Amino acid sequence: MSHPLIRKLKTIARLSPEDEDAILKLPMELCDEPPDRDIVREGDRPKRSCIIVDGFMCRYRLLESGKRQIMAFHIPGDMPDLISLHLGVMDHTLGTLTPCRLAFVAHEHLHRLCRDRPNLNHALWRDTLISWSVLGAWITGIGRKPALNRVAHLLCEVSTRLEAVGLAEDFVSELPITQTELGDATGLSYVQVNRNLQDLRSMGLITLRKQTLSILNWQKLSEIAEFHPGYLHLIAHA
């Protein structure tokens, strides 16, 4: 299997063999992390970024009320804190959801990569802008869609992204995310998430057991969600 970052970048940009080579030559430090571990915290000034080799992560903010808002889920191949490359101080926290294998790359190497390989610079720009787009889709849901549609949309999105990097097939994917976490991502209570998942199940649109999601009726589910994958800017959908 090729490097997860290569696989991921190929879903959003074309890479030359030299580009792939440059990525493979990046000095990386592998690291295994337990679940629910904060990797970079609000206020930190990281000097390196990480690539998810395996596992799920999320970025989030905590409020004084104790409530949490998850701003993104990250899957293998993602580089979740590319942001620190240009912003310096983290304004939110990045943590693991499941046990994760992470590859850390020092910022200096990334800067050099971007300088020497315009094509990869472009790809990383795209990746960052797509994260931004995804956030826009989330905000649209949280601000203006009813609970059922939000939950449906999240399932469509995660499933599509997993499929793009080869981690889902035939609408079946592993989804190691608790209902509490789904709630923190959709702006709902976990009770409400549970009820809406029940509804989707009873409509025969999905099954979700033991962290395995199967979408039985993609057509209907994506209609409810108003899911239009264009915002993911995948080459396969272009």
Partner DNA sequence: CGATACGTTGACGGAAATCAACCCCGGTGG
Partner DNA sequence: CCACCGGGGTTGATTTCCGTCAACGTATCG
Binding residues for a second copy, rule: CB under 8 A, are 59, 61, 63-65, 67-69, 71, 83, 85-89, 91-92, 115, 118, 122, 125-126, 128-133, 135-140, 142-145, 186-187, 226, 230-231, 233
d(CA 196, CA 200): 6
190 contacts which partner out of DNA, a second copy, none, CB within 5 to 8 A by kind? Answer: DNA
Q: How far is the CA of 94 from the CAs of 15, 63, 177, in angstroms? A: 28, 15, 15
204 contacts which partner out of DNA, a second copy, none, CB within 5 to 8 A by kind? Answer: none
198 contacts which partner out of a second copy, DNA, none, CB within 5 to 8 A by kind? Answer: DNA
Q: Compute the least distance from the CB of residue 171 to a second copy, in Å.
A: 23
d(CA 138, CA 73): 11
Of all helices (H) and strands (E), which one includes residue 137?
helix 118-144
Q: Which is nearer to a second copy, 85 or 156 (CB)?
A: 85
Question: Which residue ranges make up the site for DNA (CB under 7 A)?
Answer: 146-148, 178-180, 187-192, 194-195, 197-198, 210
Q: Which is nearer to a second copy, 70 or 75 (CB)?
A: 70
Q: Compute the least distance from the CB of residue 63 to DNA, in Å.
A: 11
92 contacts which partner out of a second copy, DNA, none, CB within 5 to 8 A by kind? Answer: a second copy
Sheet of strand 212-215, all strands in order from the earlier edge strand to the far edge: 168-169, 172-174, 212-215, 206-209
Q: Which is nearer to DNA, 106 or 148 (CB)?
A: 148
230 contacts which partner out of DNA, a second copy, none, CB within 5 to 8 A by kind? Answer: a second copy
Residues 3, 24: contact at Cβ < 8 Å?
Answer: yes
Q: Which is nearer to DNA, 146 or 204 (CB)?
A: 146
- The first and second tokens of residue 9, run together, are 């970048």
